[in-house]
């Protein structure tokens, strides 16, 4: 299917071990495969199973979704463990608890954007060993630029909202770090999983969520502990 799409083929012969023609593959066969792969990747990225359908029974639907909800629960617990290490810092600055969801949400969304592009590029073979370095550098650059934009915005909001300039600095630095890490993780994790022969559409989401949540909360609360205490 990739060859049909890449080289604009209309048909292709099928040969046996002795190179005798035994059949033909036509473009409509290839398009069916591409459509099926696209649908499967979309479902896997959402964590609902590659063969899920609206006609499935309740038990079939639950069976398809439950494993990844369990994985998500484990990643959430890991993030909570990180937060628990900074209990005293949060107790002294309640504003940190208010701002933490912003850090997690922005990191998660940025990682999902990068992850989606990476999984698609892997499927279409647009990412290879020859250009992976350039792709990673580009994503780091995107993370830095978007991080700076939102760091400035949230830093300003933090100052206006809570009247504390240093709190604005804390959330600005945290936003910058988390968006860079999110873009980097969203690109590198699918590539690593592909190298390990694990479907990146199936497993990337859970790993990327873990990285962005843990790094985001750790950076935010660590910087807060250093600058505010």
Residue 18: per-residue pLDDT: 93
What pLDDT is stored for residue 20 in this prediction? 94
**With helix as H, strand as E and coil as C, how does 40-62 read?**
HHHHHHCCCCCCCCCCCCHHHHH
Strand partners for 12: 25
Low-confidence ranges of the chain (pLDDT < 50): none
Q: What is the pLDDT of residue 222?
A: 92
Long-range pairs of 149-158 with CB within 8 A, sequence gap ≥ 24: 150/106, 150/175, 150/176, 150/179, 151/175, 151/176, 154/102, 158/95, 158/99
Report how far apart, in Å, the C-alpha atoms of 35 and of each of 15, 32, 113, 125 are.
25, 5, 21, 16
Q: What is the pLDDT of residues 16-62, one digit of tens each?
A: 999 999 999 998 888 888 777 777 766 666 555 555 566 678 887 77
């Amino acid at each position: 299917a990739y060859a049909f799409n890449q080289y604009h083929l209309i048909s292709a012969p099928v040969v046996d071990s002795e190179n005798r023609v035994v059949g033909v593959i036509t473009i409509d066969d290839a398009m069916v495969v591409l459509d099926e792969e696209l649908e499967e990747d979309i479902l896997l990225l959402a964590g609902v199973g590659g063969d899920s359908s609206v006609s499935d029974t309740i038990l079939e639907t639950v069976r398809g979704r439950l494993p990844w909800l369990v994985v998500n629960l484990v990643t959430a617990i890991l993030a909570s463990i990180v937060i628990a290490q900074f209990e005293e810092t949060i107790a002294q600055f309640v504003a940190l608890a208010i701002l933490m969801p912003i850090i997690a949400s922005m990191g998660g969304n940025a990682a999902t954007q990068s992850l989606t592009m990476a999984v698609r590029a892997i499927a279409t073979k647009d990412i290879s060993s020859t250009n992976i370095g350039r792709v990673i550098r580009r994503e780091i650059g995107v993370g830095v630029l978007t991080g700076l934009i939102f760091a400035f915005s949230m830093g300003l909001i933090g100052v206006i909202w809570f009247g504390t300039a240093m709190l604005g600095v804390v959330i600005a630095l945290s936003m910058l770090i988390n968006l860079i890490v999110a873009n980097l993780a969203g690109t590198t994790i699918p590539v690593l999983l592909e190298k390990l022969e694990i479907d990146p559409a199936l497993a990337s989401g859970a790993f990327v969520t873990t990285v962005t949540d843990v790094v985001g909360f750790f950076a935010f609360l660590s910087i807060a502990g250093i600058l505010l205490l």
